[in-house]
Amino acid sequence: MPHIGSLEVEQESIVVAYDPDTGQIVHTHHSVTVKGGKHPDRKTLEQDALHHLGQAQPRLQKRPALLHVNPASLKSETSYKVDVKTGVLLERTRA
Domain boundaries of the chain, sorted by first residue: 3-90
Give the model's confidence band at 32: pLDDT under 50 very low, under 70 low, under 90 confident, else very high.
Answer: very high
Closest of 27, 5, 2, 1 to residue 14, by C-alpha: 27
pLDDT of residue 50: 96
What average pLDDT does the segment 21-49 reach? 95
Q: Is the dihedral of CA 64, 66, 67, 72 positive or negative?
A: positive
